[in-house]
Structure 1
């Protein structure tokens, strides 16, 4: 019995040591260009045994004012310290399948807003206690409650607290609520016209402009994906950029926006919406836009199903892949 336990513990420790050694052999990869040059951080976010800490991912990333990184997975929300260790988690059916997240500092504290595609709702919860304080569904007042499938893919919040929730995997309506969750209006429809959405997959408040506006990722618009601007009253402003692959989400810092492309890259635009850099490009068409790339086949600096991103205060980026084993990466911005 003692010998069996000794053999088990020895095997376990050797496995951990071998995984750590394998990780130590992976070197940082430099990517991007000019002001938007980054180095990867090999092994960031992995457990001590070298395996993913989060499981299957199809979600987003946000960062709180203390610098902690929140990423959503099928199992729930995991919170990492900047050095890649899990320091908190919100797991279970109440937090599962958050497809997109937004974080906001409010009078009562910091809150995360989430769009739950498989669970057909939007939620708001306290980032530090996990208390869920708001649930959002299809409002009866919209006249659509029993007429559409609800599979929300994106959520964002205006400066006055108004909430926008995109039904991107179904009707492609974007619903607007006040800060208490009261229905205000909806706009949008499914199609390939200039003012229609063919998978309004991602959305954020574009603070690069005054007044602020919505930046919407129209992922599957024919012939290729595009970004759109809408006013906070649901009025079409313009087509920002097209032929940008399959944009899944957007994150703003200052004059810049990071836009993950599901085919396996991340595009960074400036305030004029000119492409500044492309990072993580996957040259293998069989591996780009592929959920089923196991951790054993991950390649440092090469993305597969790029889905969520967020900037920290130092301009570093955290990027999540849509991935069977759950991949989140840290890119450290190179200071010139």
Structure 2
């Protein structure tokens, strides 16, 4: 390593140890490696006074065709421009507790599908107007006698079928048609190969043909694995293990970003090999929900929960956090 390289590495290390106090006092931090190298954008999503626009977060991120960024907080859904300015909010009881989101173009409109864990339902609403057009409560016609229904993940098949994971309760994954009619369910709670121990995240894995479900089995032992199921609910494969506590997954091209609740994002290629680790937090005292904003560290996550790619390959990452943290990572070309 040259002296210049040592100085650069030392500087990045020092900067990454600085608390996030105000955007003008913090420099970007570089993370990742190879084709998955990113620079942070200090202060992205903060108000002019430097405080978070979100409040407590336990949700997801999606991006519409115009590049606007939707993130779900405890209070509802907040919409940002690509440079981090708030342009819209969907607030009130019907938009709270959206734990996971998926966005989908249908005709001339874009719709957001949401899994509302504490509100015990899935929903679908117009991304640009907020109009709720579909609700998915627990399907009584399934014949199951569940004491609790707490959906944590939602995704949509190419034909419009909707998959809703009851990840905080039964660990069944429910399948509905595009009108909301119950079709089937699969999966049970446990630690066997074909069981889920917190089926926390789920997306449509378009890296393969035909597309299949990619499920984040967060607390399975050994902890942290990704599974493939086909769209009929049949087990295909265990594709990655030892990922800590994977909370969600977002696919772009041949790559998938997987937030780990323990404070990092891993990126896997089409062979499901980890090719980059972003923002790893080695400090247990600065992990978890109760990390206040004055203890945030630029380039280091506290409890990653949701992520999404934009058209340029940049990543937006949301932490599970008491103050409401979302970080933009700009891909280094």
Query: TM-score, normalized by length of structure 2?
Result: 0.93
Deviations 1:138-183 (A, max 9, x none): 1121002x43310000000001000000000000000000000000
RMSD: 1.1
Task: Quote the residue 2:317 is aligned against.
Answer: 319
Task: Quote the residue 1:296 is aligned against.
Answer: 294
CA distance in 2, matches of 1:56, 1:108: 33
Task: Quote the residue 2:282 is aligned against.
Answer: 283
Query: TM-score, normalized by length of structure 1?
Result: 0.92
What pairs with 1:75-224 in structure 2 (closer than 5 Å)? 75-144=75-144, 146-224=145-223
CA distance in 2, matches of 1:249, 1:22: 29
Task: Quote the residue 1:256 is aligned against.
Answer: 255
- Matched residue of 2:141: which SS? helix
- Matched residue of 1:286: which SS? helix
CA distance in 2, matches of 1:23, 1:43: 4
CA distance in 2, matches of 1:126, 1:256: 28
Asked whether the 8 Å contact 2:293–2:323 carries over to 1, the reply is yes
CA distance in 2, matches of 1:318, 1:108: 25
Shift of 1:293: 0.1
- Matched residue of 2:94: which SS? coil
- Matched residue of 1:296: which SS? helix
CA distance in 1, matches of 2:44, 2:142: 44
Task: Quote the residue 1:9 is aligned against.
Answer: none
CA distance in 1, matches of 2:140, 2:219: 29
- Matched residue of 2:227: which SS? strand
Task: Quote the residue 2:69 is aligned against.
Answer: 69
1:183 and 1:39, CA in 2 relative to 1: closer, same or farther beyond 3 A? same
CA distance in 2, matches of 1:237, 1:132: 34
Shift of 1:330: 0.1
Shift of 1:303: 0.1
Shift of 1:108: 4.8
1:272 and 1:21, CA in 2 relative to 1: closer, same or farther beyond 3 A? closer
- Matched residue of 1:176: which SS? strand
Which structure 1 segments of 5+ residues have no match? Answer: 1-19
What pairs with 1:238-277 in structure 2 (closer than 5 Å)? 238-277=237-276
Which structure 2 segments of 5+ residues have no match? Answer: 1-19
